[in-house]
Amino acid sequence: MAYMSMGEAHRRITDYLNRFSDAVSSQDVVSLKQLLSFSSNSPSLLSLADSLNVFQDANRLIKQSDNYSPFADITVPLFRSLQHYRTGNLVDAYLAFEKSANAFIQEFRNWESAWALEALYVIAYEIRVLAERADRELASNGKSPEKLKAAGSFLMKVFGVLAGKGSKRVGALYLTCQLFKIYFKLGTVHLCRSVIRSIETARIFDFEEFPKRDKVTYMYYTGRLEVFNENFPAADQKLSYALINCNPQSEANIRMILKYLIPVKLSIGILPKDWLLEKYNLVEYSNIVQALRRGDLRLLRHALEEHEDQCISCAGETRAPSLSKIVQENLHYPKTKRPKQSSSDEVGCNCEGTEMA
């Protein structure tokens, strides 16, 4: 870090506090989001962290100012979190950020409109990402990783704030998707059921009113849950919805969807085109598809043995059916009594179907 004078550090800290106060008073959510986004590693936030290390009396500055003190419960722990984040102390960064986030939620409850919803999304995202990094730090030190579980509990509380009447409820699906990411990461996918019930059965929610981005993510994760439960028709419907509505520029997201949708389509006799596999780097399916087209059982067995783990795997989905089982069911061969060889006509007939674009 280059030399910074006490005066310059003071200026940067007050500049941040003024921007925070102005963003709230003018309901400028775009500016507020930028002030909360740690993981962006923006130069302004990193320089603020350096300033806090030079000017170490920021707490008094906040509490003694009429402009800054109303938000002290948010900004004081936020500053502490930023300092820990800057030095790589991620466990303490998470703990301080959670305290700041709790204070933000209390303010959010009191605001009548949903103007700060996008800022709340940033907090939900940041607390999940910080928790994941903190858990890696704990694990590397031989300690039990527990912060991601704590983040899940926190986000359930936030979900409760949004799951009511009024304009704020539109944010519930984003929180649901963040919870899905946590539960899949932890291998506790059974916890998804309660939030799914809230979204799909509560009368206060209209699925169509949610942003498309959140609907796509929701359908992707619920589609994966249907794969987990071996309910392939429902998985096909949900994952196909996610694929059709996904931003065509988001190739990484499309690949994630196809990774689960392709084996589901194979189970009902629909084969992907070669260009699709090449474009989205899903070459692990190439030999499987070729084997099904040719009726080459030997190639099929070899491809399944070589790529089964790649074809369908995800942390926490240990009960998910293997691609081998899906294809065997499609071929109408019992798992324990597969014939040693089969004619091309039999395999080709059983695997005939429309090609997936």
Q: Any idea of the CA torsion for 121, 68, 97, 166, to the nearest 10 degrees?
A: -30
Contact 74, 107 (CB under 8 A): yes
Looking at residue 135, its amino acid is D
What's the first-to-final CA gap in the chain, in angstroms?
Answer: 52
Q: Which two tokens stand for residue 135?
A: 């858990």
Contact 39, 126 (CB under 8 A): yes
Query: 356: which strand partners?
Result: 272
Domain range list for the chain: 246-357
Query: 272: which strand partners?
Result: 356
Enclosing H/E stretch for 263 = helix 251-267
Phi-psi region of 42 (alpha: psi -120 to 50; beta: other; left: phi over 0): beta
Per-10-residue mean pLDDT for the chain, 357 residues long? 85 96 97 94 92 93 93 97 96 98 96 95 97 97 96 96 86 96 95 90 80 96 92 94 95 94 86 91 87 81 75 43 54 43 29 36
Closest CA to 326 of 262, 282, 283: 262
CA atoms within 13 A on the CB side of 298: 2
Closest CA to 33 of 14, 50, 20, 48: 20
- What pLDDT score does 332 carry? 53
- What pLDDT score does 77 carry? 97
Looking at residue 259, its amino acid is K
Enclosing H/E stretch for 356 = strand 355-356
- What pLDDT score does 302 carry? 85
